[in-house]
Structure formats: C-alpha cells, structure tokens
Amino acid sequence: MTDLTEFSRSIDGLVAFVTGAASGMGRATAKVFANAGAKVAACDVNAEGLEETIAAIRAAGKEAQAWHLDVSDQGEVATVIEAVAAHYGGIDLLINNAGISRPTPIDAEDYGEKWQQTIAVLLSAHTFTVRAALPYLRKSRSPRIVNIASTEGLGATPGSSPYSAAKHGVIGLTRSLAVELGKEGITVNAICPGPINTGMTEAINDEHKQIYARRRTALRRYGEPEEVAQMTLSLCLPAASFVTGIALPVDGGLTIRRA
C-alpha cells in the first residue's frame, strides 16, 4: 500500500457536479466543495438561486459555474454533463442532491401526478446523471458518486409514500451501483439527512420544528445544510477510497432514537 499523503484528504482541483445547487444542502455543498478547492458545476432549475450560489462562491475567490438543468430531463442531463466536462476537462465527483417534496395520501385524486413527479426528480434523475457522467468518472483518479437520500429511505412517515418510495429506491440504487462499479474504483454512497433547515422545510414554523426535533432526534434540534455538506465532502475525499454502498444517516440521531 502506498503511504497516505496530505493530498489524500483533499479534493483540490477535482471537478464536482452538484445538482440542486440553488438552495439548501445543494448550495451548501457547492460552497463547501469550492472552498475545499474543487471546481464546482452548480446545476438547478432555479436560475436566480444559482446566481446567488455562484456569487457567494466567487466572492470568496473560489471557482464555480452555473448550469441551468432539470434533472428529470434525460436529454438535458446528457447535454449539460457534456458541457461541464468540456469546460472543466472532466468530472470527478457527482452529487445527486436535487429534490422536491410532494406529500400526498395514497387516495388523493392527484396521487398519480405527484408519484410521477417525485420518482422522476428523486430517483430516475440519478440514473440519468450517472449514465451521462460515467465516461468521465471512469477517467478520474478519484471518482465518487454521492446520492442524497433521506431518513425517509430508512423508515417512513404517513402521507409521504412517493417520497419514501423514491428515497428507499435511492438507497437500493446506491447499493446496486456500488456493487456494479466497484471493480472500476468508483465509489457510490448515499447520505440520509434527517430534518435540516433548508428551502424544503422553511414552511414549517419554528415551534413545530422544535417540538419535532425534541421528540425525534438525539441532538434535539434541526440540522444545518453545512453539516450535511461536510459529510458529503468526507465521502468524496480520495482517502474515502474503501467506503462504498453505505447509507450514512446525518440525522442528529433520529434513526437510533426510540424514546
């Protein structure tokens, strides 16, 4: 085995493709990765939010570029990934983070529509990005895929079956791809965030957040997007080369708490 060097804990110079980078955890990931020296391709459907992300990164003297992308559009994904690879000379780190939340009971009239939207953005999209990025990941010296799942991929809450099914699917996809791509040195891992203060949870008022967090988490609070982004970074380090196929809870202890 070669000696581990300080560079093994650095993503400096690597190219990171981050979806859902206009808000919440995706924005935090783009910032944390850029701050660690990566060249960040920040992708989202929200152009205004992306601009804010890029401005913050550039104000810190770091490198990022915005790409408008609807991850549920397979053709667009292929085009943007090609453009990013041409711009930065490759892709090393793929972070599938973009997400929507469309809660619905199983007997709602518009259930089918919400099911389709949710599966498209949260699950099918991951296969689009992986398939398009694979030729570039195969050329990388440190190829990493991190899928942002959820504690809803490990358990479930009522009225959220499309979301929970998609997130369970993300964990299954992660494990399957880890096994399939392992022989090529490409690691594939999932992160399962618990309740995090992002755009997705901003409509929940503070009192309800506090009640929920006190009742459900060991740390008695919501997490911050940066706390997830740092764990995503950890899984992307060259030094994380023997970690693959895991579903890592970053949930303040939600999944282990019983009472």
Task: Answer yes or no whether residue 70 interacts with ligand NAI by CB under 6 A.
Answer: yes
CA nearest 243: which of 228, 251, 233, 256?
233
Is 222 considered catalytic here?
A: no
Task: Answer yes or no whether residue 198 interacts with ligand NAI by CB under 6 A.
Answer: yes
Question: Cβ of residue 10: shortest distance to ligand NAI, in angstroms?
Answer: 25
Among 8, 10, 35, 46, binds ligand NAI (CB under 6 A): 46
The angle that helices 111-119 and 161-181 make with each other, rounded to 10 degrees, is: 30
Q: Which range binds ligand NAI by CB under 6 A, 83-91, 102-110, 180-188, 191-199?
A: 191-199
161 token code pair: 């079956």
Which residue among the candidates 88, 136, 163, 222 is catalytic per the annotation?
Answer: 163
Instruction: Name which of 63 and 227 has its Cβ closer to ligand NAI.
Output: 227
Task: Answer yes or no whether residue 252 interacts with ligand NAI by CB under 6 A.
Answer: no
**Residue 75: alpha-carbon gap to chain centroid:** 20
199 token code pair: 């755009």
Task: Answer yes or no whether residue 219 interacts with ligand NAI by CB under 6 A.
Answer: no
State the DSSP string of 205-233: -HHHHHHHHHHH-SSSS-B-HHHHHHHHH
Q: Which residues are within 8 A (CB) of 83 and not within 5 positions of it... i.e. 6 or more apart?
A: 67
Residues that bind ligand NAI (CB under 6 A): 19-20, 22-26, 44-46, 49, 69-72, 97-100, 121, 148, 150, 193, 195-196, 198-201
Return the active site residues: 163
